[in-house]
Chain A
């Protein structure tokens, strides 16, 4: 089992660095890639410093480049990180089906495909009795059927006491916020339906729509799952709360665990909600024989009703915040990326749910060069100073070098760093978080001489009411 692999890291920045660290820890060689725009990125420096091969490619999004580099460098496995090819079942399939095979460190391509289809996931959940957002679970093409669905959704919301019932009409082939409209009045439904169908037909050549209840004021929770290649006995690494987001629904702060029932008061049984979503998530993982790390995304309504949104079949940015509060057989320092690589290469998990315990509260801040007051507009320029006080309760993941100025590449989101703060309870974690944010030194200047804009004030402002619902 302990054969030495060479792992191609098909990603950049912070996650590339963390994968390199995990490879070193596990004793595997690695190959890093970079593009022209990323020449200055810390992941290139570290790759060479840590003895990995480094290849320049034309684009992180060209699979051919990655496979060509894999062959040229003798890689035996590929880690996709997050984004790019992480949830592309075709990439995963090509890795394992090509003549010179590569192990894909992530779920099997069949699992990625099955859970990558939101409609399929919703139907799977319903089949297993897992709660989903009320509404259709298949594309509706018939106008009368759509109208009947909308009508009963309004009736249902009134019945359960929703003050302002709203129905969502989505193009079933759409995604990423495109082709979605809200309807708050059944009288307007026809017109909206017609509009979305026309849009969908033009855009996706498929005029099927989904009709769902719009849930307001919800909390966004996640369940971290891990399983080995056997797909048997998946375990969970607890829950996270990712409710603090930008206007574009991008996460900014993640907290583990998902609620704090011992510290805060909730209008519902928060302990039970966390247990329920964990159980439901595991139920689906078992059903599909999930065989890697993955995240089950949930929304929880103000009355404590959870609904499954989707499954992310990849390691997530915020994996570290769950790892930070976890202990396996009493040992801290859990590294989910290393666990993903270890099990992805065929090693058995080696522990069960009973061996996993949680301690304290962790908060992850995403430090980004952006202007929260201006719809989170990205800021581009040169980082001239980036420093913080090391603390035993703090870990910072960044690809921004601290010893030299760094030009933010314009091709990617201006993420600068992830900072994870731990405390024995919520109040200690919050206090330490504020302490870190206030001491953080971050300076920069744009080409036009404007000073750097960052979301630090936004993060500080949201720290006080974390996990309050």
Chain B
């Protein structure tokens, strides 16, 4: 019986190896396969001892070669490891890492989303004779060893909403949150609350959660990972991956594949390599805090030693966060030192935080992410120039504080007093004035009404039909332009100079908005000559040395004359100053990488210091720049933290989507704005048509991502005509948001 069991185990190990090294002729795997088949063929003829001996030999060979194969693991092998049904999953962790737990997010398929698992668990620690149960909120994706209904850990929007709900519960209860990331990516559907919008909401809320958060990453697939990944400490399993996109997705983009086409395994493997998705890569880049080593070829449910290790890691991480922000500073460093030397289970650290510690926790979280990705962009760091900028910024901060906080309040009082006096005067004065008017009338001194009714009045408004200050180069061709909606709306073709010149790219018949260059907006939305650009020296680069990307980046820079896809500037509308970050579709599809994120953060920080309203004008964004890998993805939490800090400081954060806005940016720092608008004919979404088809098998209607659909789903707050952006922005500045704006 023992013999059969051992052979069975070997067969499982062999199958696992075959799965991981699928499609390659690995001599070691082939050797093991041959040996195993030989053994199986003759084992029934052998004596029990001989069989046991031969099995043992083969087991040793397995062990030896597994160690050898471990050293050969490529990133793509690791992708196969984390996706393997034998990979540990969250249920295993709950069983083995925590001392007791209750699942609260549903039961198996009876859950609003079985791919998101939530449990209240506790960890038991003993000090001396005393036993402590320390409660934790455990949240993570459940792949369920291949259970179909778990959807591979691909979480639907409402699954992420459920996760957020229990994070808030944990905050109320004052208990730490442990999140476990086992997801290939979010389920890309737009139904309320919306894939992108819910991730954005999660990020925004996590940015301000007043309890310690520890995240453990096994499979960190882009946006889905970020939905529960904005943690104080991020631990990564050594055989996991954390990436901006699946290698298959990257290959589809790199290979410029059309819907239904498949990338070659070689291209997929090359992309997996180039994206730097392994734990070591991410540790080296600083996006995870430490790597927890797994057994050879990845942790599986029988690796009990690994669970013990993981248990220690999450406890120690939680302790450290608490100690670092706790009140007793002296004690803190002493405790931390002691803590590092001893077994975590022997000490007891209370996991609750007082109000001051909570504030320190949030500040620590902000700074942690603020410091990330600094190596992933370029900037000409002239020391003097930088110092001047910094001093000027600091002065601006002091000035705005003095002007609006200190003086502002007093000035307001003075103004109010003056208005009262003025009103009083009017009451007193109006009586004689009326009397005087009546007297004039009786004397026949009629007011000179007639002159005012027939004479030319003063009117210096910028009139005329060609009132646009910028004329698109598209208006310079002698050709007719068909409207894409002519089939249903019967629009006639329009002459390019009329359409792009006079009509601002808006179909005269159906109102369809043709895309316009970002320059059109710069010239026609903001006051003429009011634009001052900032941080123009922050430059996009190729931090992963992604093959062939240097050339494409150089081309984008040459074509646009910009150093990144994000332009940050201060401008005015009817004299009201505001700070703007603009994502330009012309530069690599408006994709967001480290430089774009850094500029966005600097711009919103500047808006906060100067108490200016902040507008994110998205002329178009295809998502996170995949060639930057996690350097790009990390901009999602980074920028969202900055947004939160700005809004909490009393700022007004407006987002305006134009043309096409998709994926990461929408699922983070854009989608978290309380005031999001779209220019007509814009598309807003999480994933494009082919990705949706690929991952969900669903065929989506042609207008699935249309702004009106987004409005109907509650993702945005309104739709603007391009020609009225200026008026609508002015209206928004007057009626919305932050009490602490300089313009108030």
Instruction: Contact check, A90 vs B495: say whether CB atoms are below 8 A apart.
Output: yes
Query: Chain A residues near B463 (CB, 8 Å)?
Result: 120
| A126 interface contact, C-beta 8 A | yes
Instruction: Contact check, B449 vs A132: say whether CB atoms are below 8 A apart.
Output: no
Instruction: Contact check, B456 vs A127: say whether CB atoms are below 8 A apart.
Output: yes
Q: A372-389 interface mask toward B, CB cutoff 8 Å, 1 = contact, 0 = none?
A: 000000000000000000
Query: Chain A residues near B456 (CB, 8 Å)?
Result: 123, 126-127, 137
Residue of A nearest to B450 (CB): A156
Instruction: Contact check, B454 vs A99: say whether CB atoms are below 8 A apart.
Output: no
Instruction: Contact check, A134 vs B502: say whether CB atoms are below 8 A apart.
Output: no
| A97 interface contact, C-beta 8 A | yes
Partner of A152, one of B452, B459, B465, B497: B452
| A159 interface contact, C-beta 8 A | yes
Instruction: Contact check, A159 vs B450: say whether CB atoms are below 8 A apart.
Output: yes
What separation, in Å, do the CA atoms of A137 and B457 have in the docked complex? 7
Instruction: Contact check, B721 vs A205: say whether CB atoms are below 8 A apart.
Output: yes
Query: Chain B residues near A123 (CB, 8 Å)?
Result: 456, 459
Partner of A156, one of B453, B459, B493, B724: B453
Instruction: Contact check, A126 vs B455: say whether CB atoms are below 8 A apart.
Output: yes
The minimal Cβ–Cβ distance linking A351 to chain B, given in whole angstroms, is 35
| A62 interface contact, C-beta 8 A | yes
In chain B, positions 434-455 with a C-beta closer than 8 Å to chain A are 446-447, 449-450, 452-455
Partner of A94, one of B461, B492, B495, B721: B495
In chain B, positions 452-480 with a C-beta closer than 8 Å to chain A are 452-457, 459, 461, 463, 465, 478, 480
Instruction: Contact check, B480 vs A134: say whether CB atoms are below 8 A apart.
Output: no
| A155 interface contact, C-beta 8 A | yes
Query: Chain B residues near A360 (CB, 8 Å)?
Result: none
Instruction: Contact check, A131 vs B492: say whether CB atoms are below 8 A apart.
Output: no
Query: Chain A residues near B92 (CB, 8 Å)?
Result: none
In chain A, positions 70-129 with a C-beta closer than 8 Å to chain B are 90, 93-94, 97-99, 113, 117, 120, 123, 126-127
The minimal Cβ–Cβ distance linking A396 to chain B, given in whole angstroms, is 35
The minimal Cβ–Cβ distance linking A422 to chain B, given in whole angstroms, is 38
| A135 interface contact, C-beta 8 A | yes
What separation, in Å, do the CA atoms of A191 and B495 have in the docked complex? 42
Name the residue among B454, B459, B495 with the largest chain A CB count within 10 angstroms.
B454
What separation, in Å, do the CA atoms of A117 and B459 have in the docked complex? 15
Instruction: Contact check, B457 vs A63: say whether CB atoms are below 8 A apart.
Output: no
| B498 interface contact, C-beta 8 A | yes
Instruction: Contact check, B454 vs A131: say whether CB atoms are below 8 A apart.
Output: yes
Instruction: Contact check, B453 vs A152: say whether CB atoms are below 8 A apart.
Output: yes
Instruction: Contact check, B447 vs A152: say whether CB atoms are below 8 A apart.
Output: yes
The minimal Cβ–Cβ distance linking B628 to chain A, given in whole angstroms, is 42
Name the residue among A63, A90, A137 with the largest chain B CB count within 10 angstroms.
A90
Instruction: Contact check, A64 vs B459: say whether CB atoms are below 8 A apart.
Output: no
Name the residue among A97, A113, A134, A159 with the largest chain B CB count within 10 angstroms.
A134
What separation, in Å, do the CA atoms of A98 and B480 have in the docked complex? 11
The minimal Cβ–Cβ distance linking B589 to chain A, given in whole angstroms, is 31
| A213 interface contact, C-beta 8 A | yes
Query: Chain B residues near A93 (CB, 8 Å)?
Result: 497
Given A64-B480, A94-B498, A123-B456, are A134 and B450 neighbors across the interface (CB < 8 Å)?
yes
Residue of A nearest to B498 (CB): A90
What separation, in Å, do the CA atoms of A127 and B455 have in the docked complex? 8
Residue of A nearest to B493 (CB): A64
Query: Chain B residues near A120 (CB, 8 Å)?
Result: 463
Name the residue among A131, A132, A156 with the largest chain B CB count within 10 angstroms.
A156
Q: A140-165 interface mask toward B, CB cutoff 8 Å, 1 = contact, 0 = none?
A: 00000000010011011001000000
Given A90-B498, A94-B498, A123-B459, are A64 and B492 neighbors across the interface (CB < 8 Å)?
yes
What separation, in Å, do the CA atoms of A205 and B726 have in the docked complex? 13
Query: Chain A residues near B447 (CB, 8 Å)?
Result: 152, 155
Query: Chain A residues near B449 (CB, 8 Å)?
Result: 152-153, 155-156, 159
Query: Chain B residues near A99 (CB, 8 Å)?
Result: 478
The minimal Cβ–Cβ distance linking B202 to chain A, given in whole angstroms, is 38
The minimal Cβ–Cβ distance linking A128 to chain B, given in whole angstroms, is 9
Query: Chain A residues near B461 (CB, 8 Å)?
Result: 138
Partner of A138, one of B452, B457, B498, B502: B457
Instruction: Contact check, B492 vs A134: say whether CB atoms are below 8 A apart.
Output: no
Query: Chain A residues near B724 (CB, 8 Å)?
Result: 205
The minimal Cβ–Cβ distance linking B241 to chain A, given in whole angstroms, is 51
| A136 interface contact, C-beta 8 A | yes
Residue of B nearest to A61 (CB): B492
What separation, in Å, do the CA atoms of A404 and B51 have in the docked complex? 111
Query: Chain B residues near A205 (CB, 8 Å)?
Result: 721, 723-724
In chain A, positions 35-92 with a C-beta closer than 8 Å to chain B are 59, 61-64, 90
Residue of B nearest to A151 (CB): B449
What separation, in Å, do the CA atoms of A159 and B451 have in the docked complex? 13
Instruction: Contact check, B502 vs A90: say whether CB atoms are below 8 A apart.
Output: yes
What separation, in Å, do the CA atoms of A138 and B492 have in the docked complex? 32
What separation, in Å, do the CA atoms of A151 and B447 have in the docked complex? 12
Residue of A nearest to B503 (CB): A90
Given A63-B495, A97-B497, are A153 and B478 neighbors across the interface (CB < 8 Å)?
no
What separation, in Å, do the CA atoms of A94 and B497 have in the docked complex? 8
Instruction: Contact check, A136 vs B495: say whether CB atoms are below 8 A apart.
Output: no
Instruction: Contact check, B454 vs A136: say whether CB atoms are below 8 A apart.
Output: no
Given A90-B498, A127-B456, A205-B721, are A98 and B478 neighbors across the interface (CB < 8 Å)?
yes
Given A90-B498, A159-B450, are A136 and B457 neighbors across the interface (CB < 8 Å)?
yes
Query: Chain B residues near A159 (CB, 8 Å)?
Result: 446, 449-450
The minimal Cβ–Cβ distance linking B461 to chain A, given in whole angstroms, is 8
What separation, in Å, do the CA atoms of A120 and B495 have in the docked complex? 25
What separation, in Å, do the CA atoms of A62 and B493 have in the docked complex? 8
Query: Chain A residues near B480 (CB, 8 Å)?
Result: 64
Query: Chain B residues near A117 (CB, 8 Å)?
Result: 465
Query: Chain B residues near A59 (CB, 8 Å)?
Result: 492
What separation, in Å, do the CA atoms of A137 and B453 have in the docked complex? 9
Query: Chain A residues near B446 (CB, 8 Å)?
Result: 155, 159
Name the residue among B455, B461, B465, B495 with the largest chain A CB count within 10 angstroms.
B495
Query: Chain B residues near A137 (CB, 8 Å)?
Result: 456-457, 459
The minimal Cβ–Cβ distance linking A134 to chain B, given in whole angstroms, is 4
Residue of B nearest to A138 (CB): B459
The minimal Cβ–Cβ distance linking A70 to chain B, given in whole angstroms, is 13
Instruction: Contact check, A213 vs B453: say whether CB atoms are below 8 A apart.
Output: yes
Given A152-B447, A152-B449, are A62 and B455 neighbors across the interface (CB < 8 Å)?
no
What separation, in Å, do the CA atoms of A180 and B449 have in the docked complex? 23
Q: B23-45 interface mask toward A, CB cutoff 8 Å, 1 = contact, 0 = none?
A: 00000000000000000000000
Instruction: Contact check, B502 vs A153: say whether CB atoms are below 8 A apart.
Output: no
What separation, in Å, do the CA atoms of A113 and B498 have in the docked complex? 14
What separation, in Å, do the CA atoms of A135 and B455 have in the docked complex? 9
Q: B566-583 interface mask toward A, CB cutoff 8 Å, 1 = contact, 0 = none?
A: 000000000000000000
Q: Which 3 A-B pairs have the closest CB atoms?
A: A134-B453, A126-B456, A152-B449
Chain B residues with a Cβ under 8 A of chain A:
446-447, 449-450, 452-457, 459, 461, 463, 465, 478, 480, 492-493, 495, 497-498, 502, 721, 723-724
Q: Please, could you name 30 A-B residue pairs with CB atoms under 8 Å apart, sorted by A?
A: A61-B492, A62-B492, A63-B492, A64-B492, A64-B493, A93-B497, A94-B495, A94-B498, A97-B478, A98-B478, A98-B495, A117-B465, A123-B459, A126-B454, A127-B456, A134-B450, A134-B453, A135-B453, A137-B459, A138-B457, A138-B459, A138-B461, A149-B453, A152-B447, A153-B449, A155-B446, A159-B446, A205-B721, A205-B724, A213-B453
- With A64-B492, A156-B453 given, can you name 16 additional A-B contacts, CB distance below 8 Å? A62-B492, A64-B495, A94-B495, A94-B498, A97-B478, A98-B478, A99-B478, A117-B465, A123-B456, A126-B454, A127-B456, A134-B454, A135-B453, A138-B461, A149-B453, A159-B449
